[in-house]
Structure 1
C-alpha cells in the first residue's frame, strides 16, 4: 500500500496536479450524478459517501509534515461531489414548478412576467403569473400569442385576461429527444400552450417602468427598422441578443455550417466588446499627458471594459454563455491588471464554478457544455509549449506574421470543431463538419467588420447619420449568410447520428478533461477513452422502431434506408424528431405506401427484417371501433403491436404491446430488434419532479 501511495504521489506531482480545475470538475460531477441517479436514497448515498471520504482524507492528513497530493485530490473531489449534489437538489426543491396534471382549456387572469417577440414564427411568447383554478397555488404559464392579437400594452407588468389551451411541459417525445419538461421545471413553468381569441387588458403596465427587456426590444426593433431581411435580424441579434426574427432556413444554414455560435451571444461577442472598450479607453486616455502621468491607465481601461461587458451581458438577456463569457472576461481583466497569466484553466474553473453555483441545472444543457468545452480547448491548446513557441514574437515580415496567426486561427477552429462535434451530436443528432473552414472566414468578419459597424451605426444614429453604416452592416452580414449557405450545401457537410448513450458521452468527457487538465505525458492517456467513445459514436445503432409518447407517430427504419412513418405530417415536430434520431435526412415514406405493407382502414401490418429474422408489426391507424375477436386474432399473429388507444387484455402480441396504457406509463419508446431491447423515456427520468408518470 505504501508503494502504491508513493506512485500516486509521484504521478500527481509529475502531472502538476492543480486542485482548482479538478474541484470544479468534481462539483459538476456531483450535479451530474443527481440528474443521472433515480431517487432520494441514491442522492443521499452520494452525499454521505463523499463526506465520509472527505473526513477520512482530513483525518489522514493530520500529523503529516509534508504535503500530500493524493489526500488533497481526494479531499477536493469528495467535497466537490457532495456540494454539487446537495446544491442542485436544493435548487430543484426550491424553484421547481409542479406541472398541471393534464391538458385543459383555461380562462387565465394573470400578469405578464416576460415577453419574447418571435416575428419569424408569427407569434409573441408571453410568460404569465396566475392562480391555478384547481389548487389556488401561484403558477407561471407560457403561451404563444399570434402577432395579429398583439398590442402595445401587452408588455411586462400588464394584467390581462385570455383563454388558452394548456398542456403540461413535454418530456422527451422519444428517448434521446429534447427534454423540455426538465427545463420548464427549473424555469418555474407549470404549463405551456397557445392563446385562443382576444386578449382583454385589465390593468396596463406602469408607464414609468423601463426594464432591460424593454430596452432590448426597442433596440432590436430600431435595428430591424434600419436594416431589412435576414441581415437586419442578425444585426439585431448582435446588438440585443434577440434571435426571434431570423428565418428558419437561414438559421439552419448557419447551424449546418458550424456558425450557430455567432447567433448566440457568447464569448466571441462579449470578448469583442470588452477588448474594443479597453483599447479605445486606453488610447483616448493616453492622449491626455497629465492623466497618463498620474493614473495607472490600464486599471481605468479595465474598469471601463468591465462595465461595458456587464452592460452588454444584461442587455442581451444574461444567458448562460453570455454570463460565462462575461465572468471569464472579467477574470482576464483582473489578471491583466495584477500582472498575472490571463489565460489559465484556473480562470475557466472559477467561471464554471460561479455559473454552476447560480444555475446548477445548466450543466446538462448544450449551452453550458459547448461553451466550456470550447474555452477549455482554446486555453489548453494555447498553453501548450509548442504553441507558445509557435506564437512567440520574432523578427519576421508582416506577411509571415499574418500567415502564422491565420494558421493558428484555423488550428484553433479545428480543435474546437473536433471537441464540440460529439456534444452537438449528443444533443442535436446532427453537426456541421466544415465549421473550422467556415469560422476561419466568419469569425474575423464578425469580430472586426460586422460588430464594429453595428456599434458605429448605432452611434451615428444619435445624430441621424447612420444610414451608410447600416448599408455596410447589411453587406457584411450578407457575406456571412453566403458563407453559411455555401458550406452548408457542400456534399458531406452534415453528420447525422442516432441517439448516443450517456455512458459514451461520459467516456468522451472524461477523456477530454483528462487530456486538457493534466500536464506532461500523463495527459496522453486521455486519448484512449476519446478514441473509444469516437468508435461508439460512429457505430451507434439506429433504432428499428421509434414510437412517440402519445402513440400517434411511429418511425420504422426500412431496408430502403428510408424512415417509414405512420402519418405524413410534412415535417412536423414529431416527424423531425423521428428523422433526427433515426440518423437520416431522406424524405420519409408513409407506411401505407410501402409495397410490403398490408393496410386496412384501421390497421397496417408490415414485416421488418433484422439479422435473418422477420418481425411482424401491427400498427393502429386510428381509433375506430373494431371487433375484439378480430383484434385478438391479429394481435396473436404479430410480434409488436403499436396503438394510440387502450387495447383489451385479449390483444396479446408475441413480444411487445405498446398501447396507450403502456406509453402513458413509459413515455416514448425506442426498439432495437437485433438486441431485443426496448428503451423508454421513463428509464432515464427517475423520481425527479418534472416526470409524472401515471400510477400503475
Structure 2
C-alpha cells in the first residue's frame, strides 16, 4: 500500500504533463514489433488487441498510478498492433531470383542513385518470364550510361521499357546493419536493378489521378532547372518540389560534410518557414486594412491561409514521409492557433508524433523521424524554459540573432547523436555553416519562392527565381568552403543497437518529466554514451554474395578488392568510423600475384578469398585438403575437402552476410530473423 501511495503521489505531480508520453509508449510497442526474431502469429495479435482493450477499460476505472500504468501498457499494445497491421497490409510480391531481361512499367518516381545515375520507379510492371501473380507492384531501376537520351522519356505516367539486371531487395550488408529489404517492403518495392540499355517509350503519358501531382511537380522542377543553372537549379527544384535528380553527387557530398544536407529535404524547416512567412504576410496585409483588422479575426484567417499553403506544399512535394511529418507538425501548430492554444508546446509535438506513428509506424526506425522530432522537442523545451524563467529581455536587434544562434546550436546538439549513429559522421563546423545559411533560407530563399509563385500569372516569376538563386548560390558556396576545411568531417563507429533508445529515453525524461526527478534521465544517457564508447566491430565481415571480405587490422579494415561491391564496402567502412575509401582499404590487404588467392592472417587463422570461377577452380585443383585454421570465402560454388570453414554462394544464400567477432559467427539471417520482408514472396 505504501508503494502504491508513493506512486500515486508521483503521478499526481505529473498531472497535465503525461500526454507527451503517449507517443513514447506507442513507439515502444512499434520497436517491440520490429525487434522480434519471428513474425507474430494471428493468435498473438488477437491476444495483444484483447489485452489492450481490457487494460484501457481498467484504466478508466482505476485512478492514480495503476490506471496510468494500465493505459501505458495499452498504448504499447496499440503500437505493436499498428506496426503489424501495416506490415501485413503492404504485403506484395517480391522477385524471387536474379534476372536479366525486359522490364516494362509506368513511371511513378524519379530520383538519383548513390552512384549519381538517374533512378526511375515503375508500377504496373511486366517482367519477362515472370507471371503476373509473382510480379512486384513496383520496381526501381538505375539508368547508367546512355540509357536515357531524353528527359522527356521519363515524364510521369509514361510507359517505358528497357532491358535490365533485376534482383530482390538485398538484406543487411552486415549482420545488425540497415535492412534494405525491410525498407523496400514498406515502399512496395519488390525488385531493384540497373540498366545500360537505352530506354524505349511504349506509350505516352495518360492523364491519371495518381500521377497528376507528380506531373505538375516534374514540370515545375524542369522549369526551375531551366531558369537556374547547374546545381543551383537542382537545389531550387529540391526545395520546391522534392525532386533531387538535378543536383550532382559532389554538391550533395559537400552539403552533407558541412551539415547542410537537411536544407535539401522538404522537412520541418522549409514547411515552417513557408507557413510562417504566409501567416506573417497575411496577418500584416489584413492589419493594414482598418475595417478588416477591427472586425475580423485576422490571426485565425492568417492561420487558415498558412494551413492552405502548407497543404499545397505537401501535395507539390510528393508527400514523402519527411514532408508528411513536417506538415503534421505545422498543421498541429496552426490548429492550436485557431483554437487559441499555445502553438509551440510539447503537447503539440506529441500530437504530431502520434499522428505520424499511427499513419506510418515504420517511420520510427528512420533517421528522418528521429532527427526531426529530436530537434523539434529540444527547441520547444529550450525556448519554453527560456520564456518561463523570464530571462533578461534583449534589445530588439539582438533577439533574432540570439534566436538563430540558440536554435542552430540546440537543433545541432539534439540531432548530432542520431546523425552520427545512422551515418557515422560528425560535421565539426556544422554550426558555422548553419549560422551562415539557415537565416538566408528564411529571409530570402523561401520568400523568393513564394514571390515567384505569385508573379507566375504575370510572367514575372523570373524575378523570384533570380532572388532565390542568389540565396542558393551562397548556401552552396558555404557548403563547398566549409567542407573543404581541414578536419571538417569526423567519423565514428556504429553504436550498439541499444544506444539510441537509451539516449532518447533519458533525454525525454529530462525534457518532459516534471520536478527534480527529471535529472534521473541523465543516467540512461550516460549509460548510452559509455556503451557507445565501448563499441566493438567484427574482426571479419563477409558479403552475402561472397564477392568481398573485410578483415580488421591495426591500420583499419582491409578489403579484399579495390573495385566491385562498392556499396557494401562503403557501409562497412562507415560503420567502422573509417574515412578511407575502398581503394585505400584494399591497399591494407597483402598483395597477391595475378590469379592467386587473396590471403590475410588474423591471429591463428588464415582468411582466403577466391574471386571468380578460374581462381576457385585452380584452388580446388591444387588444394587437396584445407586446414582447420583456414576460413575460405568464394564468390562461386566451391568444392574442397577438410575441416576449414567454407562460405560460398550456396551457403551465403541461406545465411546472408556474415560477421565473425571473438570467434563467434553471426549471420544476417540470425540478426533479422524470419520476418515478412525476408520470407514472404507474394501478397497474402
Does 1:33 pair with 2:22?
A: no
Question: Which moved further from structure 2: 431-440 or 229-238?
Answer: 431-440
Aligned to 2:542: 547
State the 1:119 CA deviation.
12
Does 1:417 pair with 2:403?
A: no
Aligned to 2:598: 604
Does the Cα contact within 8 Å between 2:51 and 2:74 map onto a contact in 1?
no
Question: Residues 658 and 515 of structure 1: is their aligned pair in 2 closer, same or farther, counting only changes over 3 Å?
Answer: farther
For 2:594 and 2:71, how far apart are their aligned partners in 1?
64
Question: Residues 419 and 594 of structure 1: is their aligned pair in 2 closer, same or farther, counting only changes over 3 Å?
Answer: closer
Does the Cα contact within 8 Å between 2:117 and 2:142 map onto a contact in 1?
no
Does 1:618 pair with 2:608?
A: yes
Does 1:683 pair with 2:670?
A: yes
Matches within 5 A, 1:144-543: 144-145=142-143, 148-150=148-150, 152=152, 154-195=154-195, 197-206=197-206, 211-384=212-385, 386-389=386-389, 394=393, 397-399=395-397, 402=398, 404-467=399-462, 469-543=464-538
2:633 aligned to 616, 630, 642, which one? 642
Question: Which moved further from structure 2: 684-693 or 437-446?
Answer: 684-693
Question: Residues 128 and 595 of structure 1: is their aligned pair in 2 closer, same or farther, counting only changes over 3 Å?
Answer: closer
* SS of residue matched to 1:211: helix
Aligned to 1:93: 88
State the 1:122 CA deviation.
4.3
Does the Cα contact within 8 Å between 1:97 and 1:186 map onto a contact in 2?
no
State the 1:431 CA deviation.
2.8
Does the Cα contact within 8 Å between 2:59 and 2:68 map onto a contact in 1?
no
Does the Cα contact within 8 Å between 1:414 and 1:436 map onto a contact in 2?
yes
State the 1:307 CA deviation.
0.2
For 1:484 and 1:493, how far apart are their aligned partners in 2?
11
Aligned to 2:132: 136
State the 1:228 CA deviation.
0.5
* SS of residue matched to 1:541: coil
Question: Which moved further from structure 2: 517-526 or 494-503?
Answer: 494-503
* SS of residue matched to 1:311: helix
State the 1:572 CA deviation.
2.9
Does the Cα contact within 8 Å between 2:45 and 2:81 map onto a contact in 1?
no
Does the Cα contact within 8 Å between 1:118 and 1:245 map onto a contact in 2?
no
For 2:227 and 2:277, how far apart are their aligned partners in 1?
24
Question: Residues 314 and 118 of structure 1: is their aligned pair in 2 closer, same or farther, counting only changes over 3 Å?
Answer: farther
State the 1:426 CA deviation.
2.4
* SS of residue matched to 1:398: coil
Does the Cα contact within 8 Å between 1:129 and 1:141 map onto a contact in 2?
no
* SS of residue matched to 1:121: coil
2:651 aligned to 654, 662, 679, which one? 662
The aligned length equals 673
* SS of residue matched to 2:74: helix
Question: Residues 246 and 152 of structure 1: is their aligned pair in 2 closer, same or farther, counting only changes over 3 Å?
Answer: closer
Does the Cα contact within 8 Å between 1:562 and 1:589 map onto a contact in 2?
no
State the 1:53 CA deviation.
7.2
* SS of residue matched to 2:600: strand
Does the Cα contact within 8 Å between 1:274 and 1:305 map onto a contact in 2?
yes
State the 1:524 CA deviation.
0.9
Does 1:631 pair with 2:623?
A: yes
State the 1:603 CA deviation.
1.2
* SS of residue matched to 1:187: coil
* SS of residue matched to 1:148: coil
Question: Which moved further from structure 2: 469-478 or 523-532?
Answer: 469-478
For 1:170 and 1:32, how far apart are their aligned partners in 2?
22
Does 1:567 pair with 2:561?
A: yes
Does the Cα contact within 8 Å between 1:254 and 1:481 map onto a contact in 2?
yes
Does the Cα contact within 8 Å between 1:120 and 1:244 map onto a contact in 2?
no
For 1:459 and 1:120, how far apart are their aligned partners in 2?
37
State the 1:370 CA deviation.
1.3
For 1:228 and 1:21, how far apart are their aligned partners in 2?
45
State the 1:265 CA deviation.
0.6
Question: Residues 417 and 614 of structure 1: is their aligned pair in 2 closer, same or farther, counting only changes over 3 Å?
Answer: farther
For 2:178 and 2:591, how far apart are their aligned partners in 1?
31
Does the Cα contact within 8 Å between 2:659 and 2:667 map onto a contact in 1?
yes
Does the Cα contact within 8 Å between 2:216 and 2:316 map onto a contact in 1?
yes
Question: Residues 436 and 42 of structure 1: is their aligned pair in 2 closer, same or farther, counting only changes over 3 Å?
Answer: farther
* SS of residue matched to 2:674: coil
Question: Residues 123 and 57 of structure 1: is their aligned pair in 2 closer, same or farther, counting only changes over 3 Å?
Answer: closer
For 1:616 and 1:627, how far apart are their aligned partners in 2?
15
For 2:85 and 2:23, how far apart are their aligned partners in 1?
19
For 1:227 and 1:268, how far apart are their aligned partners in 2?
23
Aligned to 1:18: 17
* SS of residue matched to 2:551: strand
Does the Cα contact within 8 Å between 1:498 and 1:540 map onto a contact in 2?
yes
For 1:126 and 1:515, how far apart are their aligned partners in 2?
43
1:127-168 alpha-carbon deviations (Å, 9 max, x no partner) = 131256444225322223456344636433344443332111
State the 1:47 CA deviation.
7.0
Aligned to 2:72: 77
* SS of residue matched to 2:342: coil
For 2:503 and 2:222, how far apart are their aligned partners in 1?
43
State the 1:620 CA deviation.
1.7
Does the Cα contact within 8 Å between 1:545 and 1:670 map onto a contact in 2?
yes
Question: Residues 193 and 339 of structure 1: is their aligned pair in 2 closer, same or farther, counting only changes over 3 Å?
Answer: same
Question: Which moved further from structure 2: 187-196 or 237-246?
Answer: 187-196
- How well do the aligned residues superpose, as a CA RMSD in angstroms? 3.0
Does the Cα contact within 8 Å between 1:546 and 1:670 map onto a contact in 2?
yes
- Structure 2 residues not aligned, in runs of 5+: none
For 1:571 and 1:167, how far apart are their aligned partners in 2?
15
Question: Residues 405 and 201 of structure 1: is their aligned pair in 2 closer, same or farther, counting only changes over 3 Å?
Answer: closer
Question: Which moved further from structure 2: 521-530 or 171-180?
Answer: 171-180
* SS of residue matched to 2:677: coil
Question: Residues 244 and 599 of structure 1: is their aligned pair in 2 closer, same or farther, counting only changes over 3 Å?
Answer: same
For 1:352 and 1:639, how far apart are their aligned partners in 2?
51
